[in-house]
Structure 1
Amino acid sequence: MKMSGLLNRRSNELAGVVGTVRQIRTGSPVPRKLGAKDVAVLDLNRASPETARALVEAGVAAVVHVPRSGEEMLPRAAFRTLAASTIPVVEDADLSAVDDGTRVRIDEGVVYSVKGEGELASGREAGPATLLAEVDAAETGYIESALAHLANATEFLSLEHPLLLDGEGLPEIDVVFTDRHVVVVTGDLTSESQLHELKPFIKEYRPLLVGVDGGAELLRAARLTADVVVATPTAVSDEVLTDGAVLVVPADRDGRAEGLERVTELGVGATTFPAAATARDMALLLAFHGGAEMIVVTGDERGLENAFGSDSAPSSTMVDTAVSSRLVHAGACATLYRSRGAGIGMALVVLAALVAVAAVVVARDSAQDLLIWAVDMWNTFALWVQGLIR
């Protein structure tokens, strides 16, 4: 169905589809009241087949695909489901910042505000044939990218398997990782918000903090002191280099390291780490082979959606596999900690209630009755709390 062939009287007979923006976040269910007067805005690269079917069943006016910045189409079933329907699909029109509930008009891939008729975003309309051709091409490109990525990862493994398996070549640094929690903060765009969410965890567990390149700046901005900084000296500020953290400088396998002259000028010590790995991967290996109990890492989650993209280092595929038994993503850690904290908070509320009830019993019953009641209530409460923290 071509959008240019549709008219809406309430938009002054202007061509196109008129509807209300409904932002559907990744992992969130499709709103139950979604219907023909709505424009669904979502990332189809991360949409499940169930989500696509729900959009078709709701008969939405249009679907706007908003992928992550710089990301190509992935061969997801959601695209094929929409291609088999009559719902118009608009690509590359970034409506991610448009408020939910905004009335828009879409014509030939251009999105206008109904209220002011100003252009909000410009993309392109993909009909069923175009959409199917694009998803077929995406499938071919995805497999080719995976093969190239895995070939490079295998080459890295052939070079660095002693480092991955046994820690051979790790620099000796004056930091004890044994049986400690470690938080590795990278310079990725998502790290700042993740670090904020991790602050309660950091406050309670006092983990070792490792800043990787821009992640060291994020730690400093959050008023957290890095124990280790793994960074090219030219990529961080003088303040980071002189804050007192143990400085590890990534180097090529032949020992050449960029920016060492800056460290010399500042009069601080540094240890080089020669390896064909990224700074992030070096930080994970230092913690893992150092005996860390758990390693929390910030940054983009590594899934099949982005595992073989241009931003994904082949070394990370092998390093993440090597340290997987102790690796936890920051998002998962923050979620688990919030759940645990909420449970303990509820336990304290219940305990306070028990104390209040006990006061009433003291006022009304005998001491023996109070003792029997208190033992019974305490046993029940203790078992419940144990269930929360397991």
Structure 2
Amino acid sequence: MRSLLPRRRAATDARAGAQVERGQITGPARVDRSTKTLTKRLRPGDVAVIDHVDIDRVSAEALVGCKPAAVLNAARSTSGRYPNLGPEILLEAGIPLLDDLGSDVMAIPESSRVEVDGAKVSVGGHFVAEGTVQTTETVEVSLAEAREGLADQLESFAANTMDYLRRERELLLDGVGVPKIRTKLEGRQALIVVRGYHYKEDLAMLRSYVRENRPVLIGVDGGADAILDAGWTPDMIVGDMDSVSDRALGCGAEVVVHAYRDGRAPGLSRVERLGVSHVVFPATGTSEDVAMLLADDKGAELIVAVGTHATLVEFLDKGRAGMASTFLTRLRVGSKLVDAKGVSRLYRHRISNWQVTALVLAGLAAVLVALGSTPAGQTLFGLILARIDDFVSFVRDLLGLTAGAVG
């Protein structure tokens, strides 16, 4: 099995806090069963220790952004349930991935020095666990096997869709249970931001849209921080409040806490502790669904979505009963919904600055030639040249007087 561990650059890792010698990697451990929570404190050179079955694309991209020395996974990074893209993203970024290490690896003390030698993991010279070093070849084999079982997931997705429709038909069809909010959406456009695939690039491409249309900005959990990072202020924050920062919650946006159908809301205590005014929206499904249903029910004329989930693989990536709620929610708001995902890849600015400068100069030269061919233009150029000649004479006389005074 070809290991990717020796491919790490020792100098870069050493500066970041990790060390690489003869194929070994050492670094401080950052341990958390929740990858989303871990990435908030993960730093370059740390060794990420997670328990994440089927590492999804968003989690992998978040890990890559933190630049860990290695990722140690207690679970199987690809279980075969569906062709998830996370492991491939980590390997393409040059981050070693050790798989299926077992529960013992989660007992590694936080900040302890971890040694990774091939497929073996040790702490302080004491063996902890041994797993599988993932390579491009092993990931390709796992993905091929997962694609063969995708039909079973499709059947499960269809069953979950019907179950969700039975339980939430009053909300989907009649808007029963939607809370009252103070944010005015009637007749306005809404931009819903989820911290999903390519959300940063797509937000950058939507700057002109936001400036010209001034839509209601709705952040779904961490999407509120994405809006702040883009230089705007969210009007509303919707979610279970597990990944939004205190900074975002305190920015003045209206807060809608997504609760379970039975009224339980894990994030409610945090919002109350911060003293933030809020309303509770009990509903099955995901927070991005709740945000879309809320915007639609309150009369938004157009809903623009960034970073949301749209394909079957993305639904399965999210891992919430096939994301059946998102599928039906999109059917409900389909006439208003504009999915802005991938807009940054649809159009890319391919003209360099020097090309723009050359184009402007060429245009200016053409205008000057056209003016020079007309009587009015010739008169204008004559006046300009006369002014220039007067200025040159003034400077020459001034220099002559200065030289005479010195002599």
Partner in structure 1 of residue 326 of structure 2: 316
When the two chains are superposed, the root-mean-square deviation of aligned CA atoms in Å is: 4.4
- How much does 1:149 deviate? 1.8
Partner in structure 2 of residue 123 of structure 1: 135
8 A contact 1:247–1:271 mirrored in 2: yes
Q: Does 1:174 align with 2:170?
A: no
8 A contact 1:92–1:122 mirrored in 2: no
Aligned-pair identity in percent equals: 33
| In 2, Cα distance between equivalents of 1:357 and 1:327 | 45
Partner SS state of residue 229, structure 1: strand
Moved more, 154-163 or 198-207: 198-207
8 A contact 1:298–1:330 mirrored in 2: yes
Any unmatched runs of 5+ in structure 2? 3-75, 95-117, 119-132, 377-407
| In 2, Cα distance between equivalents of 1:181 and 1:352 | 40
Distance 1:231 1:94, change over 3 A: closer
- State the Cα deviation string for residues 182-233 of structure 1 (Å, max 9, x = none): 2211133643443334334323332211111111122223332000001234
Which protein has the larger Cα radius of gyration, Structure 1 or Structure 2? 2
Quick one: which amino acid aligns to residue 173 of structure 2?
Answer: L
Q: Does 1:302 align with 2:310?
A: yes
Q: Does 1:153 align with 2:165?
A: no
Normalised to the residue count of structure 1, the TM-score between the two structures is 0.54
8 A contact 1:94–1:122 mirrored in 2: no
8 A contact 1:301–1:329 mirrored in 2: no
Q: How does 1:183-198 map to 2 (within 5 A)?
A: 183-188=191-196, 190-198=198-206
8 A contact 1:214–1:235 mirrored in 2: yes
Partner SS state of residue 160, structure 1: helix
Counterpart pick for 2:277 among 241, 261, 269? 269
| In 1, Cα distance between equivalents of 2:143 and 2:269 | 50
Counterpart pick for 2:93 among 69, 90, 97? 97
- How much does 1:351 deviate? 11
Quick one: which amino acid aligns to residue 123 of structure 1?
Answer: T
- How many matched pairs? 261
8 A contact 1:186–1:211 mirrored in 2: yes
| In 2, Cα distance between equivalents of 1:124 and 1:355 | 54
| In 1, Cα distance between equivalents of 2:316 and 2:89 | 24
Q: How does 1:186-335 map to 2 (within 5 A)?
A: 186-188=194-196, 190-233=198-241, 235-299=243-307, 301-309=309-317, 310=319, 312-334=322-344
Distance 1:141 1:223, change over 3 A: same
- How much does 1:350 deviate? 9.4
- How much does 1:275 deviate? 0.9
- How much does 1:292 deviate? 2.4
Any unmatched runs of 5+ in structure 1? 4-68, 77-90, 99-109, 111-120, 368-390
